[in-house]
């Protein structure tokens, strides 16, 4: 007889998937997405942009390289849970310090294994990212009707401001150094480090390391910081980080703060949520996508050079390119669906991208954007 299921995933439309639970017991409501990356499950789970989302990995071998603190993009896993094809096996990797399942249990994150992730991914593509409840009970007792009702009643990510929840509480100086693989590109030896203020809306650590690798010294400020607080650090450039939730829901604090910064005329670089909020501050609109982009193999075309970059992506909202005001140029587009992936101001060093150039996990094709930010600060010095 097959083992009794110890986890279950209920979609708001009433579809239910059963499997074997791992990680922490409990129940969570979230948006369900799928990620097609073949590596980097730990970086994905600890990317703060995944707050209030459950990740279905389309790649079946999850857990086989274990976990190591060095790969955390934030203190704790931020994704609410994961769905995998096969139960995680014992890790086999020299860097591993813990098993994924134990690590998730310690950090209160739920996993379900043994799910037909192909069928589930097709459901996500057809329905758009569904609202779901994921439950793990070692005794296998589930109130399915209550779970479906909870998924149905959940407000979802539209209008939800999560950036302030995952942001740091206090400002701090990033002193964990540069990204080692990126260090070869560093401009630091020629230049006195460029003073950068990074606004933390849920920043991934490898972005901060990449800024340092390209010659910056970074002070991180909380999402609630005002333009005056930013300027008090006398930055040569400002970085707007990635983060979770609806960019338009940050309209009470981040968007007006960025407008204020724009009036002060300085180099600004934004990634993902930072890109979306910069676009809002410039007068554009953002929209919710159907099931978003989550993977490490997304082709993006640099409209200005014609070059194609393979990128790492994680977003469920997008900038509506039709809404870009005069003076704001679309610089990058997704080759999957033509959606906007980058903008710049025509006459100022203010630019941002939807994808993740810091390449953790994923390809390194877009690292040149950090160089572009450094170059714009150097030009101002000159
Ligand atoms: N990675 C991100 O910064 C994601 C931005 C935003 N929360 C979105 O889903 O589109």
Query: How remote is the CA of residue 223 from the centroid of ligand 1, in Å?
Result: 15
- CA 92 from centroid of its chain's CA atoms: 27
Q: What is the pLDDT of residue 77?
A: 78
Residues 262 and 375 in one domain: yes
Last residue of a domain, one of 153, 175, 195: 153
Last residue of a domain, one of 113, 128, 153: 153
CA distance 18 to 191: 57
In a domain, 136, yes or no: yes
* 187 pLDDT more than 60: no
Q: What is the pLDDT of residue 337?
A: 98
Residues 359 and 307 in one domain: yes
Residue with CA at minimum distance from ligand 1 atom 5: 273
In a domain, 118, yes or no: yes
In a domain, 347, yes or no: yes
Q: What is the pLDDT of residue 275?
A: 98
Question: Pick the catalytic residue: 27, 73, 272, 293?
Answer: 272
**Within a 13 Å sphere around the CA of 298, how many CA atoms are in the beta-carbon half?**
31
Residues 283 and 358 in one domain: yes
Residues 177 and 147 in one domain: no
* 281 pLDDT more than 60: yes
* 185 pLDDT more than 60: no
Q: What angle do CA 134, 136, 142 make, to 5 degrees?
A: 80
Q: What is the pLDDT of residue 164?
A: 94
In a domain, 65, yes or no: yes
| Confidence at 159, pLDDT banded by 50, 70, 90 | very high
| Confidence at 177, pLDDT banded by 50, 70, 90 | confident
Q: What is the chain's Cα-based Rg?
A: 21
* 324 pLDDT more than 80: yes
User: Taking the model in full, what pTM does it have?
Assistant: 0.96
CA distance 344 to 271: 12
Mean pLDDT of the chain: 95
Which tens digits make up the pLDDT trace of 75-131?
A: 877 999 999 999 888 899 999 999 999 999 999 999 999 999 999 999 999 999 999
Cβ-contact 54, 28 below 8 angstroms: yes
Name 2's Cβ contacts closer than 8 Å, sequence gap at least 6: none
CA torsion angle 38 76 206 337 (round to 10): 50
In a domain, 158, yes or no: no
What number does the ligand 1 atom closest to the CA of 241 have?
A: 3
| Confidence at 1, pLDDT banded by 50, 70, 90 | very low
In this predicted model, which residue has the larger pLDDT, 188 or 149?
149
Split into its structural domains, the chain has a count of 2
Q: Is 11 annotated as a binding residue?
A: no
Q: Identify the residues whose C-beta falls under 6 Å from ligand 1.
A: 49, 242-245, 272-273, 314-317
Q: Which of 316, 320, 341, 353 to mutate to test the pocket of ligand 1 (most atoms within 8 A of CB)?
A: 316
CA torsion angle 269 272 276 279 (round to 10): 30
Is 355 catalytic? The answer is: no
Last residue of a domain, one of 130, 153, 176: 153
CA nearest to 57, candidates 85, 30, 98, 95: 85
Residues spanned by the domain of 42: 7-153
Q: Is 371 annotated as a binding residue?
A: no
In a domain, 301, yes or no: yes
In a domain, 1, yes or no: no
Residues 197 and 319 in one domain: yes
Instruction: State the CATH number of the domain containing residue 199.
Output: 3.40.50.880
Looking at this predicted complex, what is its ipTM?
0.97
Residues 255 and 303 in one domain: yes
Residues 149 and 26 in one domain: yes
The rounded percent of the chain whose pLDDT value lies above 90 is 92
In a domain, 211, yes or no: yes
Instruction: State the CATH number of the domain containing residue 63.
Output: 3.50.30.20
Residues 375 and 345 in one domain: yes
Residues 352 and 205 in one domain: yes
Residues 194 and 55 in one domain: no
- CA 306 from centroid of its chain's CA atoms: 26
Residues 265 and 134 in one domain: no
Residues 27 and 141 in one domain: yes
């Amino acid at each position: 007889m097959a083992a009794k299921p110890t986890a279950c995933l209920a979609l708001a439309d009433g579809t239910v998937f059963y499997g074997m639970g791992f990680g922490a017991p409990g129940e969570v409501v979230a948006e369900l997405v799928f990620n097609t990356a073949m590596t980097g499950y730990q970086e994905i789970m600890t990317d703060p942009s995944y707050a209030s989302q459950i990740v279905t990995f389309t790649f079946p071998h999850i857990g086989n390289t274990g976990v190591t603190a060095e790969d955390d993009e934030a203190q704790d896993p931020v994704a609410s849970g994961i769905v995998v094809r096969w139960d995680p096996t014992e890790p086999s990797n020299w860097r591993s310090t813990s098993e994924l399942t134990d690590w998730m249990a310690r950090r209160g994150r739920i996993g379900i294994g043994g799910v037909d992730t192909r069928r589930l991914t097709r459901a996500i593509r057809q329905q758009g990212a569904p609202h779901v409840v994921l439950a793990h009970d070692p005794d296998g007792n589930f109130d399915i009707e209550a779970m479906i009702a909870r998924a149905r009643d959940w407000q979802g990510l539209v209008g939800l401001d999560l950036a302030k929840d995952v942001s740091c509480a206090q400002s701090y100086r990033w002193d964990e150094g540069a990204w080692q693989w990126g260090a070869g590109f560093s401009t630091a030896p020629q230049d006195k480090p460029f003073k950068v203020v990074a606004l933390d809306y849920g920043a991934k650590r490898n972005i901060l390391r990449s800024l340092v690798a390209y010659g910056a010294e970074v002070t991180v400020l909380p999402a609630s910081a005002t333009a005056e607080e930013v300027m008090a650090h006398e930055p040569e450039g400002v970085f707007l980080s990635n983060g979770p939730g609806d960019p338009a829901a940050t309209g009470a604090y981040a968007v007006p703060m960025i407008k204020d910064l724009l009036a002060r005329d300085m180099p600004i670089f934004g990634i993902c949520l930072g890109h979306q909020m910069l676009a809002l501050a410039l007068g554009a609109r953002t929209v919710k996508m159907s099931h978003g982009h989550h993977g490490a193999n997304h082709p993006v075309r640099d409209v200005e050079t014609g070059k194609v970059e393979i990128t790492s992506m994680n977003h469920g909202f997008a900038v509506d390119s039709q809404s870009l005001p005069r003076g704001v140029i679309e610089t990058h587009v997704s080759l999957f669906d033509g959606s906007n992936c980058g903008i710049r101001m025509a006459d100022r060093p203010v630019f941002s991208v939807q994808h993740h150039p810091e390449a953790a996990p994923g390809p390194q094709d877009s690292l040149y954007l950090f160089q572009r930010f450094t170059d714009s600060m150097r030009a101002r010095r000159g």
